Amino acid sequence: MLCPRPAIPRLPSNILNDVDASADSSSLRLSCWKGDITTLTDITAIVNAANAQLEGCFRPKHRCIDSVIHAAAGPRLRDACHSLIEDQGHIEPVGSAKVTPGFRLPASWVLHTVGPQLHRSQKLQPYHETQLASCYKSCLDAAESLPALEDGRKVVAFCCISTGLFAFPSEIAAEIAVGTVASWYKEHPDTTITQIIFDTFLEKDWTLYQQKLAQLKKSIPENLTPSPQPSSQPSQSLQISSQIPNAAVTKARTWINEASNLIISAGAGLSAATGLDYTSTALFDNHFRAFTEKSLRRLYDVFGHVDWDSPGQKWGYYFLHLSMVRSWPTSPVPSTLRELVGRFPSKYFIRTSNADGFFLKNGFDPEFISTPQGQYGFLQCFNKCRPDAVFPSDPLVDAALPFIDSVTQVLTDSTKIPHCPFCGGEATICVRGEHYFNAGPFRAQNMKWNRFLRGLDGHQLGESNGSAATVILELGVGLNTPGVLRWPNENLVIGSESRGFRLIRVGMGASGCVPWELEEQDLAVGVSADIKTALDLLTS
């Protein structure tokens, strides 16, 4: 199928653009970042937690870091690693490090180190800790010989070595990682390395490293005074940064601060930022375990699912889903967004593809919200017998919940299965799916949205002088249904030099990328980060 849009870059660019550009070479900065290590740009080397053969993971499509790095770098990386092992005549010992080019990676080099591997039932021993510390020391020693970037910086990103599949306890591993790097710095005050990044992928690891860096920062005056250096050498300092400065974030923050109007465009990634992740197998298993027997593993898997054993099973799931969504606990994200829209009284609008009622239940004014994909708060006649055959779902959910079996999760009382109150026919959730969707209740919202846009055009045309008069803050809008929000947002920006629209696209991986031509025209910027972190940075 041909896509009418220009190709979207496979990986986000300039994630680390301008990292510490203002810091001179006499400063070593420790930072933490959460995301895919293979996407980091403007970086000297990334660290791979390799196996002893250095030839990548031997399980096809395995999601370990070794497999991910080899897949992103391409087959020449495995060939280079094979040559290293062949030349030395033995497998790589635990705790050492080897260097290869990065090939197709944005990073120039890869530092391969073999960490200690524990079995799940194996008790951690002191020699395991010594081996892990040796991994970090060996990588830093190897990085010293690598050439710096054109601007003089030398940036190394560490993955979480030996944790996860190799069962090294995460908290102890983080403590060893941060402590070893700090100790190595004390012993090498004239190092050419200017930046160390601890790259994490899991939220728990991100939290651990944030804590360890905060503890280290407090101890710097007492424990991390660099060794004396000749007076001809500049005195170095160890700097701890909880966030990585980013040119994209700086630009986006400036656009928001200078804007007169704000459009928030929200997709499934926003719900995921609050924990309601439709791709999470753990969430599904926790709330809908009985349905895993039907090969359903994620909330997304249920969309379009028709192979129900009975209407009671189908509505048992639907009612439990609706109940879970409406009672989902709050998070810091909505309060940050409320503070943001508070800067634009009556000059903002929210358009979201989410049907979960996130904005309504978190106190946002419904006069400024449009939900073109529908809402879980309504059921509708499947046959659309009449335009107003739409009715609230909450009373039906409340009536059905006491009759849902806690083990099978089947609705046991057939009288609680909803039907259209007008024709008596089948009912369904009022969410856009196929031909049955009744968009009637949402037309008024759409009219308000169009009036808002017309008002912007009339006010802005010819008056923006290149500034971002209206910012579109796109949060977690993925690639599954780009015609709903993603492409319309780009259309608003295209050719808008005189209209003053600017697009800020926040998302992980490809979801955070913007078209090259819009980026080059300074009309759009991509911020590749999780939404909570991005919002904290953009609103600070």
Tell me whether strands 97-101 and 109-114 are parallel, antiparallel or unpaired: antiparallel
pLDDT over threshold 50, residue 233: no
Q: What confidence category does residue 12 fall into, taking pLDDT thresholds of 50, 70 and 90?
A: very low
E-strand ranges in 10-96 read: 27-34, 45-50
- Of 78-82, 163-167, 209-213, 318-322, the poorest mean pLDDT is in 163-167
The predicted structure's pLDDT at residue 375: 95
> Phi, psi at residue 432, to the nearest 5°?
-60, 125
Task: Give the CA-trace dihedral at 305, 306, 307, 313, to 10 degrees.
Answer: 90
Average pLDDT over residues 178-197: 89
> For the domain with range 19-219, which CATH number is right: 3.40.190.10, 3.40.50.300, 3.40.220.10, 1.10.3720.10?
3.40.220.10
Query: How confident is the model at residue 412, as a pLDDT?
Result: 97
**Predicted pLDDT at 464:** 43
Distance between CA atoms of 459 and 455, rounded to whole angstroms? 6
Q: Among 205-214, 215-224, 452-461, whose mean pLDDT is lowest? A: 215-224
137-143: long-range contacts (C-beta < 8 A, 24 or more apart)? Answer: 137/180, 137/184, 138/95, 138/96, 138/97, 138/113, 139/47, 139/97, 139/111, 139/113, 140/181, 140/184, 140/188, 140/191, 140/193, 141/97, 142/97, 142/98, 142/99, 142/111, 143/44, 143/45, 143/111, 143/193
Give the pLDDT of residue 175.
93
Positive or negative, the CA dihedral 367, 373, 378, 380 is positive
CATH 3.40.220.10 placement within the chain: 19-219
Max CA distance (Å), the chain = 90
- CA torsion, points 459, 462, 463, 469, in degrees to nearest 10? 70
Mean pLDDT along residues 283-304: 91
Of residues 398 and 37, more confidently modeled: 398
- Supply the pLDDT for residue 234: 33
13-17 mean pLDDT? 40
Angle between helical axes of 531-539 and 247-258 (0-180°, round to 10): 60
Q: Parallel, antiparallel, or unpaired for β 369-370 and 109-114?
A: unpaired
- % of the chain at pLDDT higher than 90: 48
Average pLDDT of span 357-374? 94
**Residue 457: its pLDDT value, please?**
56
Q: What is the mean pLDDT of residues 297-304?
A: 89
Min mean pLDDT across 203-217, 373-387, 403-417 is at 203-217
Judge whether residue 1 has pLDDT over 70.
no
Residue type, 402: P
Q: Is 201 a residue whose pLDDT tops 50? A: yes
pLDDT at 448 over 50: yes
For residues 276-286, average pLDDT? 91
**CATH code of domain 246-276+330-371+445-457+467-539:** 3.40.50.1220
Phi/psi region, residue 374 (left: phi>0; alpha: psi -120 to 50; beta: rest), is: left
Rounded Cα gap, residues 392 and 400, in angstroms: 14
- The pLDDT tens digits of the residues spanning 26-36 come to 457 888 888 88
Which is higher by pLDDT, 25 or 167? 167
For CATH 3.40.50.1220, the residue range(s) in the chain are 246-276+330-371+445-457+467-539
Query: Quick one: pLDDT band at residue 468, thresholds 50, 70, 90?
Result: low
Residue 132 has pLDDT above 60, yes or no: yes
Decide if pLDDT at 166 tops 50: yes
- In the predicted structure, residue 393 carries a pLDDT above the cut 90: yes
Interacting residues of 43 by C-beta distance below 8 A, sequence separation 6+: 16, 106, 107, 108, 155, 156, 157, 197
- Mean pLDDT across the chain: 84
* Range among 105-114, 222-231, 409-418 with highest mean pLDDT value: 409-418
The predicted model gives 65-87 an average pLDDT of: 87
d(CA 161, CA 396): 50
Flag the least confident range among 110-114, 282-286, 430-434: 430-434
Q: Kindly tell me the burial class for residue 500, based on how many C-beta atoms sit within 10 Å of its own C-beta (0-12, 13-18, 19 or more).
A: buried
67 — pLDDT class (breaks 50, 70, 90): confident
Lowest mean pLDDT among 271-285, 302-316, 449-463: 449-463
Find tokens 């081996």 and name the residue: 131
Provide the pairing of β-strand 27-34 with 195-200.
parallel
